Amino acid sequence: MARRKRLTPALSPLGGEAPPMQATPSRAPIAQVAGDAAALAAFEEVAGEMGRARDEGRLLLRLSRGEIRTDHLIRDRIAVDPEALEELKRSLRARGQQMPVEVVALEAGRGPRYGLISGWRRLLALAELEAETGDPRFGEVLALVRRPSDQAEAYLAMVEENEIRAGLSFYERARIVLKAVEAGVYESEKDALQSLFPAISYSKRSKIKSFVPLVAAFDAVLRHPARISERLGLALARGLAEDPGLADRLRAALEGLDPGDEAAEAQAIEACLGAGPAPAKAAGQGGEAPAEESRDAPDQSLKRDFEPVIQGLSMARGRHEVVLRGQRVTPSFIARLEAWLATLD
């Protein structure tokens, strides 16, 4: 009978019995190359989509506030309502930042990497919260990177965001029109008005245009211009056109006021408007016309520059006269107007 050969286990160089040898499956070189190419293609596709998302403003970034330059654009908002700001801070404290700000990448160099387009109030609220609480989470900002084609598009994005979220006063709207023209973003006030406010009515654009002379004349001395009402602002614009001395009188009155007194500023404007220009001399006489006659006489210099008020109704204004015209001026409309005027006594 043949003897069976006993197999002696191989010894490991480190001692003990070596583990059984396992065959390593071989892979064809072509399969290896194909797999690597597929993985690389998938990676490049993901990276490309991430890049497109970033460029198109679909990728949310977490930035330090110090990376964002807030004065990249001339801001349209002048004043911040303290109560509204406190409400925003309470929301940020409780729920964090829900809506991202919008930024544009700046050229590489010293200083912030991004310029702010919209979201100035959110940055201000975050800065105040970090100062009040010391919580570092308020030092970070959620942001979307936009790529406006030019400065005009960036200004439009800023204005649209504020028009939607918190409407600007007519003064603030007029101010950004004037400042954008001065900065060379637009060639004329007309271009700026039509580009920055394309969706609003012609009537509102006309009112914004009326406020532009106010900005040019008083921006350096007004402390609370955003508080000027539509009525007061339009009256002041008419006064500037009719009374050449009004601008100097009002600037003198405003310069002596307490900068923090909003009511005093409005009263100074009303007082200067009420004073009016010096009465004109009566025709054929060397002296001045009687005060009563000057105050009550209709404004013969009214140019009849009619502005639309609502559809079917336009109005021309003078210092002592208002003229209405249009399809809405019917007997019924006149009766309602007379009844309303009677309630003012």
Which of 40-49, 223-232, 236-245, 250-259 shows the lowest mean pLDDT across its residues? 40-49
Percent of the chain with pLDDT over 70: 69
Strand, coil or helix: what is 115?
A: strand
CA gap 77, 169 in Å, rounded:
9
CA gap 47, 44 in Å, rounded:
5
pLDDT band (50, 70, 90) for residue 254: confident
Class of residue 328 by CB neighbours under 10 A (exposed 0-12, middle 13-18, buried 19+):
middle
**pLDDT of 90 strictly over 80:** yes
Class of residue 102 by CB neighbours under 10 A (exposed 0-12, middle 13-18, buried 19+):
buried
**pLDDT of 126 strictly over 60:** yes
pLDDT band (50, 70, 90) for residue 259: confident
Strand, coil or helix: what is 126?
A: helix
CA gap 27, 24 in Å, rounded:
9
**Model pLDDT, residue 310:** 78
**pLDDT of 38 strictly over 70:** no
pLDDT band (50, 70, 90) for residue 320: confident
**pLDDT of 279 strictly over 60:** no
Q: Stretch 41-63: mean pLDDT, rounded?
A: 66
**Model pLDDT, residue 133:** 92
pLDDT band (50, 70, 90) for residue 262: confident
Domain extent listing, the chain: 50-165, 304-345
**Model pLDDT, residue 235:** 87
Evaluate the CA torsion angle 110, 114, 120, 126 in order and state its sign. Answer: negative
**Model pLDDT, residue 246:** 86
Tell me the per-residue pLDDT of 175-224, one tens digit each, with 9 for 90 and over.
889 988 888 888 899 898 988 888 778 888 899 999 999 999 888 888 88
> Which residue in 88, 120, 89 sits closest to 102, CA to CA?
120
Percent of the chain with pLDDT over 90: 7
Cα→Cα distances 247→90, 98, 250, 318, Å: 42, 45, 5, 18
**pLDDT of 98 strictly over 90:** no
Structure tokens at 96: 């964090």
Mean pLDDT, the chain, integer? 75
**Model pLDDT, residue 108:** 72
Cα 34 to chain centroid distance, Å, stands at 53
Helix (H) or strand (E) holding 289: none
Strand, coil or helix: what is 241?
A: helix
Which of 69-73, 115-119, 154-158 shows the lowest mean pLDDT across its residues? 154-158
Whether domain 50-165 has CATH 3.30.70.920: the reply is no
Tell me the per-residue pLDDT of 215-236, one tens digit each, with 9 for 90 and over.
998 888 888 887 888 888 888 8
> Which residue in 279, 281, 210, 222 sits closest to 247, CA to CA?
222
Output the DSSP codes for 127-195.
HHHHHHH--GGGGEEEEEEE--SSHHHHHHHHHHHHHHHSPPPHHHHHHHHHHHHHTTSSSSHHHHHHH
pLDDT top residue among 285 and 28: 28
